[in-house]
């Protein structure tokens, strides 16, 4: 392997936002880009030259109007993640949940404290969608206690770890990306909820191995629409389904698909154009 076995793919975002950059990191990591750096107005993405397919990047970015173009150039391999990790700041949700990294010092304790290794797996709590998911979980805290929870597309497993800390009897965390699944496994054990958290690498079909009282999915709109029937089958009667990872404009399509399956709408949240939806399975 020579010193220039990586490509730096630079994506221009107009308008630029950290939230969109994080969404694109999650999407591009499946191509498989393995490191990212944000330098407004650019998102710089790194991939081994042998794995790069320009057409794949073009198709993925076509779904994001703010991604106005990209270029690719050879670059010497290095640890691009470190810069991003070193800039991670603690996140506090409604004065009740705190998410922090090992290098964050003097952070006030809240009721639920989550320590994570902020690698490039999606889900550090900084994105609006993750934040709203945690807010809605706090809204059904009494229901979660003693129940089984699935965290689909878990990333760093922040949501699953929060469920376990809220008293969930069992958490099943799933991500299609091996790096994310490994990160989730480590974070669950670091937070001392490993005995109640099972982590698997795969897609939504793995959910059918069990049934759940609460199902969490903070994923892209198209994946949610494709996997919604599986979520419905895997959810117990009376169970809660929390969905995010999409824009407010996508909510009607998701609500319509959920209604066709017999799921009852139970509430929604919005932040900066992003949405979070809650449904209940009545039968």
CATH code, domain with 153: 3.40.50.150
pLDDT tens column, 33-70: 877 888 889 999 888 888 899 999 999 999 899 999 99
pLDDT tens column, 109-118: 899 999 887 5
For residue 243, the tally of other CB atoms under 10 A from its CB is 29
Q: Which residue has the tokens 């919604």?
A: 228
Alpha helices in the chain, H assignment, sequence order: 18-28, 54-61, 81-86, 128-139, 141-144, 158-165, 178-190, 221-234, 251-260
Q: How many domains does the chain have?
A: 2
- 65 in the same domain as 205: no
The sign of the CA dihedral 230, 132, 148, 219 is positive
Is residue 117 situated within a structural domain? no
Kindly state the average pLDDT of the residues 146-161.
Answer: 95
pLDDT tens column, 194-206: 999 999 999 999 9
Which strand (E) or helix (H) includes residue 89? none
Is residue 97 situated within a structural domain? no
- 258 in the same domain as 138: yes
Q: Could you tell me whether strands 263-271 and 274-281 are parallel, antiparallel, or unpaired per DSSP bridges?
A: antiparallel
- 78 in the same domain as 14: yes
Q: Which domain holds residue 33?
A: 6-83
- 135 in the same domain as 79: no
- 144 in the same domain as 49: no
What is the pLDDT at residue 80?
Answer: 47
User: Given pLDDT bands bounded at 50, 70 and 90, which one contains residue 82?
Assistant: low
Is residue 215 situated within a structural domain? yes
Q: What is the pTM of this model?
A: 0.73
Is residue 270 situated within a structural domain? yes
- Please, what is the average pLDDT of the chain? 88
- 197 in the same domain as 271: yes
């Amino acid at each position: 392997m020579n010193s220039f076995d990586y490509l730096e793919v630079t994506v221009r975002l107009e308008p630029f936002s950290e939230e969109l950059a994080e969404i694109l990191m999650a999407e591009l990591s499946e191509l498989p880009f393995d490191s990212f750096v944000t330098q407004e107005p650019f998102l710089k993405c790194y991939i081994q030259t042998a794995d790069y397919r320009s057409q794949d990047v073009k198709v993925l970015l076509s779904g994001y109007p703010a991604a106005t173009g990209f270029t690719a150039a050879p670059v010497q391999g290095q640890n691009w993640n470190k810069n991003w990790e070193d800039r991670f700041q603690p996140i506090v949700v409604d004065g009740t949940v705190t998410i922090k990294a090992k290098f964050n010092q003097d952070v006030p304790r809240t009721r639920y404290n989550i320590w994570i290794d902020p690698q490039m797996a999606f889900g550090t709590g900084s994105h609006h969608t993750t934040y709203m998911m945690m807010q809605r979980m706090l809204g059904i805290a009494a229901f979660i206690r003693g129940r089984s929870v699935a965290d689909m597309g878990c990333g760093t497993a922040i949501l699953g770890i929060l469920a376990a800390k809220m008293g969930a009897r069992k958490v099943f965390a799933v991500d299609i990306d091996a790096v994310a699944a490994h990160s989730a496994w480590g974070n669950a054990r670091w937070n001392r909820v490993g005995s109640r958290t099972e982590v698997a690498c795969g897609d939504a079909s793995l959910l059918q191995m069990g049934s759940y009282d609460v199902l969490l999915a903070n994923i892209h709109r198209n994946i949610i629409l494709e996997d919604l029937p599986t979520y419905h089958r895997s959810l117990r009667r009376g169970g809660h389904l929390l969905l995010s990872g999409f824009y407010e404009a996508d909510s009607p399509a998701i609500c319509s698909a959920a209604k066709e399956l017999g799921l009852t709408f139970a509430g929604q949240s919005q932040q900066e154009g992003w949405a979070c939806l809650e449904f209940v399975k009545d039968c």
